[in-house]
Structure 1
Amino acid sequence: MKTLLLVLLFPIVIFSQGNPAFTESKIDDVYSQFNLTGDGVIFAIIERGIDYTHPAFINPDGTTKIKYIYDMVDASGASHPDNTYGIGTIHTEADINASLLAGGTPLTTDRYGHGTACAGIVSGNGEGTASKAFHGVAVDTKLIVVKLIHDAFPAFGSEPGQSAFFNPSYIPVALQFVEDKVAELGLPSVTLMNFGSIGGPTDGTSAVSQAMDNFINKGNILVCGVGDDGGNDNHATGTIAQDETQEILINKAETGNLRFDLWYSEDDRFTVTIELPNTTQVGPFAAPSGANAQIDWYNASFNMYHRGANVEFAQASSHKRELMIDLFGATGTYKIILNGASITDSGTFHATLNPSTNYNNNKFLSHITNGGSINDYATATQVITPTNYVSNISYTDVNGIARNRTGQGNPGEIWTGSSEGPTHDGRQGVDFATPGEVVFAPYSPNTYYSNFPFNMVQGGNNLYGIQTAVSAAAPVACGIIALMLELDPTLSNNDIKDILASTATTDGNTGITPNTTWGGGKVNALAAMQEVNNRLSVNAYVADNFKVYPNPADDVINIASKTKIKNISIYTLEGRLIKTIATPKKQIEISNLKSGIYFLKLESDLKVHKIKFLKR
């Protein structure tokens, strides 16, 4: 997904302070009714790194909230004996605590600011201000951070610029690292992949999408936002018959590179000609002869890569070939002229443009198809995919200036830049919408984010600012999921996907749901938590010869059993034993327990039962 700097391309001028997105999505109601904070849950984020020295990620005793940071951009630790992945550098909780104590240059950081902000939306504790008003959704979650990306930015102030880095082949390794460390920690977790854009097969078959589904199939919970490529004509489709010629027209309005990416059946053959804005035609180029063949061409105005199904760039399993053309020549109208040299399948194609968003004028001028701008990674068949809508457009900046973000949509509407489904194989794509316009999040000094004071918020002590777009909406969703997992750590990825979609709110903006813009509608954290609670128990747990009630409970739990219970133990979610009852009674006093989720272990001569209960 794109970054906050989209903000800078619009007249930025406002929202009311606090985190209105939390009120809008009824997260505040969850706090008051369920007293949940994400305790005993891991939030893993695969992103642009984190500033672990920011007070939002430091416990009151000065230690870190972070269990691991895996900096895949820093190759210095790739050969360390404890790094079994052979990529990047791993920093443990102990390493981070030692660094915090010593001070000086951090072991790793996020010089851009995006990763720090998005991690804080979920796990930040709000420290650094007296009010702690800018805390995350699930403040007691612990963090696993994977730094996968560097965003490019120019030098600013006394700070040097940064070159871009992104290697999609690292993504499966990142997921494996998260899986390994979550298993080691033994806690429920939710993972966020907070990046991705339009392009690729967009049907769940790319190598990355398959790695994501594999991660979920192993019992992990994974979120990836729909993308920030909505609001423009960047998806084109068509069907070409045998010997038919069609012209796809493209308006290249911006300088720099514009990527055209077209996918069609391996069983068809398209001959390609490219017409430049000055009407010069280059080609025709014959199609690759087979699945292992490729036709590449380099020109002063474009590079063309026409690849068979076994050598296309996404390493997909879709049996499709790819025609990728990078247009970096003059602005103006380009024509991609396709001829159906051999059509033995359907002759159907899907094509995308990138960058082509709500803030530029690169677009298709023909074959335009509404929707289908969804991020390829968000098309993994099981991933939880939120979109973004507007909860508030106003805020006061650090200098006391009221600002209003126009052009993003009105409160209650879908954000104008939100990508949409369907996937290119016809699935809905979007699960639900969370409010990401706007959310307040941690900013760190000397980062590119903090270089723009009009994005920093009043009352934030120069440590908090705004985060927007799907990049903000997806972390809000992850925070809600962390609260759900605190309530019921046994929830599966599909349980959560179903609950958040089915409990979502509909209104005049969402229209009839589900649909490919809103999914099930606007997320309702309170309704989701109530549904989790209902599934957790209908006032009692009954199994074999045991009955435990009420559940949730306030002061006492009653136990009915047809077999003699020899021992009762109560454990925290983390597995810490807090109470043992050697002479069990039919009623257990729990008034002295803090509110939260616990496990009750009942031992009889025949069996051991572990029962989860909620202390209100």
Structure 2
Amino acid sequence: MDEADRYKITSEDYADIILEDWSNTEAARKFSGDFVNHINNDIAFAYIPMDRMTLDSINKFGYYSIPGCYGLMKAETGWEQLPDSNPDSFNGYVGNGVLLGFVDTGIDYRHPAFIGKDNTTRIVSIWDQTINSQGYPEGLYYGTEYSREQINAALQSPDPLSVVPVTDNIGHGTMMAGIACGSQDEANHFQGIAPEAELVIVKLKPAKQYLKEIFIIPDEVPCYQENDIMAGVEYLNRVAGLLNRPIVICLGVGNNMADHAGLRISSRFYASLGEKPGFVFVTAAGNEANRRNHYYGNIADNVTMDYVELHVGEKNPGFMMQFWGQPPNFFWIDVYMPSGEFLVRIPPVDGQTMVERRDNTLVVVDSMLGIPSNHNQSIIFRFRNPAEGNWTFMVFGSMGDLPREFHFWLTLHNFLEEGTYFLNPNIYTTIVGPANSTGLLTVTSYDINTGKLDFYSSRGLNVDQFLKPDITAPGINVLAPFPDYTYAAASGSSIAAAYTAGITAHMLQWGVVEGRAAFLNTPHVRHIYQLSAIREKDRDYPNEDWGYGILNPKGIMSTMRDFMSF
């Protein structure tokens, strides 16, 4: 590894490509002259000159290989009328011996929420991907790793940031870590769920500009690329392995331009880690319901087509949209502009990129078959300077007696200009990636004060009809540490995921650290949460809104004992 190759990892002059089974002959041939960084035995990232990225790159390199762009799963933050933090009892457990890992916007390590009773940090290490130095983690080659000793030295300094310059200018990572395991602060009526667990933190670098341009994401919106998140998760895996400690990995980022079946390379990687004893992977379901950015269609036997209408507001610079045709049927789509002018017909063809221009409007369409499996049909639309008004998509399905079901999703609401929405939206099948993976623990949010589901919390199922979310947890107006020694009231599914991660640290202390159930992993924990959840008598379970019910910390232990008695 030389400095020229290291430069490519963070340089805007090089594009990133995700490779699975990097040792196969085709990948070795295609990227033989490029720097390829192998992050584990199966996955690698190639870095190629930007001139090889063209309009047809999604098809040229593959649906999975272009890193997706992920946004924050936080709905809002407020500072008025902050609630008291009142973590649920778990029979005296506080997360001793357990690691909590976050791959997010960083952490304000100076905050009292992350300092123990002995005035030392509760953070094991931080990998800041935004600060390049020679102190990068072994085998990852970018950013800077800061140890517990360095953080403690910074805390003793009159100017901590001159010693460890890690910050969290957004606050999302600080809030999630604090909710999960913040230290008690009596003066501010705060305590995290597992106040004696320890932290491992990854601060993500922003996505490269070329990816934001491919996925048409506004410059000012926080956005992180898939392979940086994967590298961050691998870092957490290595730290837990080195220390031989159980870990709860919590992701509060998500992507709506995914397969909604949890079959991306990253999703499968996370699920495989979550099957290891002592590893639990918690994900935020998303905040995409009631955003009008999903359409579901099912063409009846006696009709030929379905009309899908999408409203585009004025002066919209562009957006991305995905079509997903359920197998075994195939679909044709005729696209009409707001003026009524026919733009293009998109047939069920694999590996085709179409480019259409009308006046100032540019539409790029990538068609794929069999991605990721079962011969389903996927179409990626990229609109630049789209004409204002109602666009019409006439969807034709192959005739026969089998269902003709399909979906459209717009990009995350975080990335979308106001005024762009489906006229007849559907709030279901809106769980984001990677939370739509069957192998991860997926958490949605509700208001503990009203007992109502968060209006925007994403709903299931996934496209393969697998039940998601798994569980519902508090995620509205939750007190959380915020940068610069303050606190804020936070809402969103990432908040509910952080709460659940803290409860999970209790479970791993009881089961793994204390030796009662060293085998505990994501499937086991999910099963126990499902069994012990609080369920309303007049509501059917499981369902697409609440999953198996509300997370029940007080009922987990008895369920765990029953589980162990078999």
TM-score, normalized by the shorter chain, greater than 0.5:
yes
CA contact (8 A) 2:460 2:469 kept: yes
CA contact (8 A) 2:275 2:523 kept: no
What is the TM-score of this pair, normalised by structure 2?
0.75
Following superposition, the deviation at residue 301 of structure 1 comes to: 3.0
CA distance in 2, matches of 1:497, 1:305: 39
Following superposition, the deviation at residue 242 of structure 1 comes to: 13
Partner of 1:523: 551
Query: Is the counterpart of residue 486 in structure 1 residue 502 in structure 2?
Result: no
Following superposition, the deviation at residue 421 of structure 1 comes to: 0.3
Partner of 2:43: none
Deviations 1:3-46 (A, max 9, x none): 587437xxx797673125x3xxxx1x32xxx2111111110111
Following superposition, the deviation at residue 70 of structure 1 comes to: 1.7
Following superposition, the deviation at residue 182 of structure 1 comes to: 0.5
Partner of 2:297: 238
Query: Is the counterpart of residue 18 in structure 1 residue 78 in structure 2?
Result: no
Residue type at the aligned position of 1:94 = E
Partner of 1:468: 491
Following superposition, the deviation at residue 209 of structure 1 comes to: 1.5
Partner of 1:261: 322
CA distance in 1, matches of 2:483, 2:136: 32
CA 1:322–1:535: 2 relative to 1, 3 Å: closer
Partner of 1:7: 76
CA distance in 1, matches of 2:206, 2:155: 23
Partner of 1:70: 127
Query: Is the counterpart of residue 279 in structure 1 residue 340 in structure 2?
Result: yes
CA distance in 1, matches of 2:231, 2:255: 20
Partner of 2:461: 422
CA distance in 2, matches of 1:95, 1:466: 31
CA distance in 2, matches of 1:359, 1:301: 16
Following superposition, the deviation at residue 259 of structure 1 comes to: 2.8
CA 1:296–1:92: 2 relative to 1, 3 Å: farther
CA contact (8 A) 1:202 1:379 kept: yes
Following superposition, the deviation at residue 529 of structure 1 comes to: 2.4
CA 1:342–1:49: 2 relative to 1, 3 Å: farther
From 254, 258, 261, the equivalent of 1:203 is: 261
SS at match of 1:376: coil
CA 1:95–1:342: 2 relative to 1, 3 Å: farther
CA distance in 1, matches of 2:324, 2:345: 18
Following superposition, the deviation at residue 243 of structure 1 comes to: 11
Partner of 1:48: 105
Residue type at the aligned position of 2:480 = A
Partner of 2:30: none
Following superposition, the deviation at residue 218 of structure 1 comes to: 3.2
Counterparts of 1:109-508 in structure 2, within 5 Å, are: 109-127=167-185, 130-131=186-187, 133-148=189-204, 150=206, 164-219=222-277, 220-239=279-298, 244-253=304-313, 255-264=316-325, 270-288=331-349, 290=350, 292-297=351-356, 300-309=360-369, 316-317=372-373, 319-327=375-383, 328-340=385-397, 347-356=404-413, 362-366=420-424, 368-392=425-449, 411-445=450-484, 463-489=486-512, 490=518, 491-507=520-536
- Identity score, percent: 23
Deviations 1:478-533 (A, max 9, x none): 1111111111112222221011111111226x712211110111111011123234
CA distance in 2, matches of 1:162, 1:253: 19
CA distance in 2, matches of 1:99, 1:112: 21
CA distance in 2, matches of 1:209, 1:391: 30
Following superposition, the deviation at residue 197 of structure 1 comes to: 3.8
CA contact (8 A) 2:320 2:410 kept: yes
CA distance in 2, matches of 1:355, 1:229: 7
SS at match of 2:308: strand
CA contact (8 A) 2:503 2:553 kept: yes
SS at match of 1:487: helix
CA distance in 1, matches of 2:140, 2:548: 39
Partner of 2:32: none
Larger Rg: 1
Name stretches of at least 5 consecutive residues in structure 2 with no aligned partner: 1-69, 209-218, 513-517
Following superposition, the deviation at residue 123 of structure 1 comes to: 1.5
Using the TM superposition, name which of 496-505 and 226-235 deviates more: 226-235
Residue type at the aligned position of 2:104 = E
CA distance in 2, matches of 1:91, 1:344: 61
Following superposition, the deviation at residue 354 of structure 1 comes to: 2.8
Following superposition, the deviation at residue 336 of structure 1 comes to: 2.0
CA distance in 2, matches of 1:108, 1:94: 14
CA distance in 2, matches of 1:295, 1:345: 29
CA distance in 1, matches of 2:356, 2:151: 49
CA 1:281–1:378: 2 relative to 1, 3 Å: same
CA distance in 2, matches of 1:341, 1:361: 33
CA contact (8 A) 1:513 1:519 kept: yes
Name stretches of at least 5 consecutive residues in structure 1 with no aligned partner: 153-160, 393-410, 446-461, 539-616
CA 1:297–1:93: 2 relative to 1, 3 Å: farther
Using the TM superposition, name which of 104-113 and 43-52 deviates more: 104-113
Residue type at the aligned position of 2:312 = K
CA contact (8 A) 1:287 1:295 kept: no
Partner of 1:58: 115
RMSD: 3.4
